[in-house]
Amino acid sequence: MDKYDIIGKSVPRNHTKDKATGAAQYTDDIKLPGMLHGRILRSPYAHARILNIDTSRAEALAGVKCVITGNDLPDIKFGNWRLFTETQDETGLARDRVRFIGDEVAAVAAIDKDIAEEALSLIRVEYEELPASFDIDTSLGKGAPIIHDPFKNNISVVRKVANGDLDKAFSECDYIREDVFNVHAISACYLEPCSSLAKCDPDGKITLWTSTQTPYMVQCLLASALGMRENDIRVIKPHVGGGFGAKMELRKWDVCAAFMAKKTGKPVKFTLTREEELATGRRRHPMRLFSKVGCKKDGTLVAKDLKILLDGGAYNAMGPTATFLCGNFGLMLYKYKSYRFLGQHVYTNNPPSSAIRGFGSPQSYFATETQMNLIAEDLGIDPIEIRRMNAVKTGDVIPELSTIGSCAFSECLDKVIEVSGYHEKRKNPKKGRGIGIGCYSFISGGVFNWFNTQYPFSAAEIRAFADGTVHLLTMASDIGQGSDTILPQILAEELGLKMEDIRITSADTATTPQADLGSWGSRVTLMAGNAVIDAAKKLKEILFGAVTAHYNLNVIHELECKDGRIFSQVRPDKGLTFGQAVALAQKFNRGVPIVTRGSYTPRGMGMVTPAFSFGAQVAEVEVDEKTGRVEVKKMWTAHDCGTVLNPVSVEGQLEGSIHMGLGYVLSEQFAMEKGKTLNTTFLDYKMPSALDMPVSESICIETYEKEGPYGAKEAGEGLVGPTAPAIADAVYNAVGYRCMDMPITPEKVLKGKKDSLN
């Protein structure tokens, strides 16, 4: 990294001071003159027909300015991938039926929150309760209630992946193992509840401030839902208090806020409560995974047949993408002669499932990695060796999906085993202590563009000034992961400037370049970073041309940007400060401002992703054999994220992933009763705190990814995948209980320990 001035350095995040002092402004902090407060009336039934809604008493309440139902809104369905109309199944408010407890039925806007809340109690809704389904078995069973009429079998999405002759491959196997895994729903648990504030201009155009990961998606989908033109909607993303995938959709309060602002002529704000978030917010998909794997007696994998049923809840949300991706994750880590995947997204009358960090990978890798450990045990092979012999490598082709451009999976395995003392601890276990392994591969943004094909995947604009500063504009969304820091860091390196020389404006659809699908799938650093580099190269071409002409130099490529100067590498005295070069270029261009635009769209690497990250994780646990309580003592991680652009940011992403994986496998779960969520506070929903975090040690195995900016690729989201299987394997090593049905609870540990002794 010595060849770089800023890349590879731990640069503090831009917004740290504002967040620490409380100066950072989130959507709910914004107050506009005459602003109304919105509240949503939710269904008490999991499945019911709406016969009548009487809003007259609410409308008559003093201070209430607007009351709407589904019939007031345009009868337009929306869904996150607008190119696939068959998956669009939501309207701004329920029109004919409600499909889960908490489904949005009506909305009110009043001069204060208390009046809005009182108005909800005055709305009378007449329902006809219908039979409901709360699990995939019921939804797929004979005589199941039909949740959405077009889908008579309640299967809303089917995704398939297939390569090779599977039957022939299984016939060549010496050993075949079949297992069934069940994984559960969890909440994203972002600290900032969803909030939207809409204002309508006199000309009818809407400005929406909203807590989102995907401002451009929201702009397009909101325009569609309201029957408006795309450019008549402006979406601004203020600071976001976490998203983790669950804030990447158009939500019904966005629609209601915009519609009611237009109807009343006043700004309207909706902010959810924590109870609403836990009871009705988007969840990680519960899944049942059927995995059949065949191999040779030496452990060489030959064939895999994977079927996954996803409990999608009442609406598709991001389920179509999760259904596609969880099958890809079943294939990305190890080599198989033949592979087949069938994914089915099933409607139930539970709250909708959607994207949460990892986007199908935590579920898929829990099954894959647990089954690898089971196979190794059955064949008497070391679980590390069976991984080494089957690990994918640089240049391997994942059939019909992609080519791996860089891979240090095997090196990650070697390193994590070394630093953790895995083999010694496995051979000489202490009573109640165990150590386990889990691995992963993850995408660096999806190559598929199921949303909009007319724009590049990401774009950037740079405005250069004669005072030596630049202004970077990008629609990439910083939701806490640090893109507002890493993109200026990339730009500073490219232009030879300091971080303080760069201003960034991000995530405003009216002022930033009209592209970028948002923050999800670990896409931002690679895709937005490449767009920034493209714009920077175009800027350098302009400035180099001006400096070359000024000094009558012959070769432009001999010039360099460094330390705030542009100069000849051969004759360093022949140069100007960056600001002087901008002024000169502007003068040559008759005063026209120096502005360049860059973009990035993946090309030629397959249909999944331009790059893959890899890693391995070892967990050490201590199990109280009397109570069954599991305590994670330490986590070791070795991961290949390409070139490390900002070490402290990578470390923070790792720790966040471990935290989410820890809660997923050990403590977080919803208590449900016929579709009703019973634990709706953080007192009852057991998310780990900082005090529950184990000591962790992280090692970056650097590779160079040619598709990534400075060789970088995904760092953070993928690491949520191996934590659960690593901890589960460690628990098995400690007490003999093998988890096939998450989460791991003390009750399951005690029962499993007892069963293992019988």
3-class DSSP state for residue 391? strand
What does the alpha-carbon distance between residue 246 and residue 450 come to, in Å, rounded to a whole number? 18
Rounded mean pLDDT, 469-489: 96
Q: Is the pLDDT of residue 272 over 60?
A: yes
What is each CA distance from 628 to 163, 409, 436, 621, 749, in whole angstroms? 43, 34, 17, 12, 5
Rounded percentage of the chain residues whose pLDDT exceeds 90: 90
8 Å CB contact between 235 and 215: yes
Q: Which two tokens stand for residue 252?
A: 């019904």
Instruction: Share the mean pLDDT of the chain.
Output: 95
Rounded mean pLDDT, 17-29: 95
3-state secondary structure 415-468: HHHHHHCHHHHHHCCCCCEEEEEEEEEEECCCCCCCCCCCCCCEEEEEEECCCC
Rounded mean pLDDT, 390-409: 91
Q: What dihedral angle (degrees, nearest 10) is formed by the CA atoms of 742, 745, 750, 754? A: 0
Q: In 559-593, which positions are buried (b, 16+ CB within 10 angstroms) versus exposed (e)?
A: bbbbeebbbbeeeeebbbebbbbbbbbbeeeeeee
Q: Is the pLDDT of residue 291 over 90?
A: yes
Among candidate residues 756, 719, 754, the one with its CA nearest the CA of residue 736: 756
- pLDDT digit string, tens, across residues 233-254: 999 999 999 999 999 999 999 9
Rounded mean pLDDT, 272-290: 98
What does the alpha-carbon distance between residue 36 and residue 63 come to, in Å, rounded to a whole number? 10
8 Å CB contact between 370 and 196: no
Q: Is the pLDDT of residue 1 over 60?
A: no
Q: Which two tokens stand for residue 683?
A: 């007192």
Q: In 343-361, which positions are buried (b, 16+ CB within 10 angstroms) versus exposed (e)?
A: bbbbbbbbbbbbbbbbbbb
Is residue 450 very low, low, confident or very high in pLDDT (cuts 50, 70, 90)? low
Is residue 81 very low, low, confident or very high in pLDDT (cuts 50, 70, 90)? low
Rounded mean pLDDT, 501-522: 93
Q: Is the pLDDT of residue 332 over 80?
A: yes
Q: Which two tokens stand for residue 704?
A: 């160079």
Is residue 448 very low, low, confident or very high in pLDDT (cuts 50, 70, 90)? low
8 Å CB contact between 610 and 525: no
User: What sign results for the dihedral spanned by CA atoms 356, 358, 359, 362?
Assistant: negative
Is residue 455 very low, low, confident or very high in pLDDT (cuts 50, 70, 90)? confident
pLDDT at 22: 94
- pLDDT digit string, tens, across residues 631-643: 999 999 999 999 9
- Measured in degrees and rounded to the nearest 5, phi and psi for residue 650 equal -65, -40
Rounded mean pLDDT, 482-493: 97
Position with higher pLDDT, 168 vs 520: 168
- pLDDT digit string, tens, across residues 90-104: 999 999 999 999 999
Query: Would you call 498 exposed, middle or buried from its count of C-beta atoms within 10 A (0-12, 13-18, 19+)?
Result: middle
Alpha-helical regions (H) of 552-671: 578-588, 647-666
Is residue 372 very low, low, confident or very high in pLDDT (cuts 50, 70, 90)? very high
What does the alpha-carbon distance between residue 632 and residue 666 come to, in Å, rounded to a whole number? 10
Q: Is the pLDDT of residue 326 over 80?
A: yes
Quickly tell me which residue has 């993946």 as its tokens: 602
How far does the chain reach from its first CA to its final CA, in angstroms? Answer: 56
Domains delineated in the chain:
16-22+457-600 (3.30.365.10), 31-130+191-242+247-280 (3.90.1170.50), 283-447+606-757 (3.30.365.10)
pLDDT at 716: 83
pLDDT at 680: 98
Q: Is the pLDDT of residue 345 over 90?
A: yes
Rounded mean pLDDT, 11-16: 90
Position with higher pLDDT, 79 vs 683: 683
3-class DSSP state for residue 291? strand
**Has this prediction a pTM greater than 0.85?**
yes
Is residue 399 very low, low, confident or very high in pLDDT (cuts 50, 70, 90)? confident
- Measured in degrees and rounded to the nearest 5, phi and psi for residue 655 equal -65, -40
Is residue 608 very low, low, confident or very high in pLDDT (cuts 50, 70, 90)? confident
Q: Is the pLDDT of residue 756 over 80?
A: no
Rounded mean pLDDT, 574-599: 96
Lowest mean pLDDT among 127-141, 585-599, 606-620: 606-620
- pLDDT digit string, tens, across residues 662-677: 999 999 999 999 999 9
Rounded mean pLDDT, 131-156: 97
Q: Is the pLDDT of residue 606 over 60?
A: no
8 Å CB contact between 144 and 72: no
CB atoms within 10 A of CB 492: 23
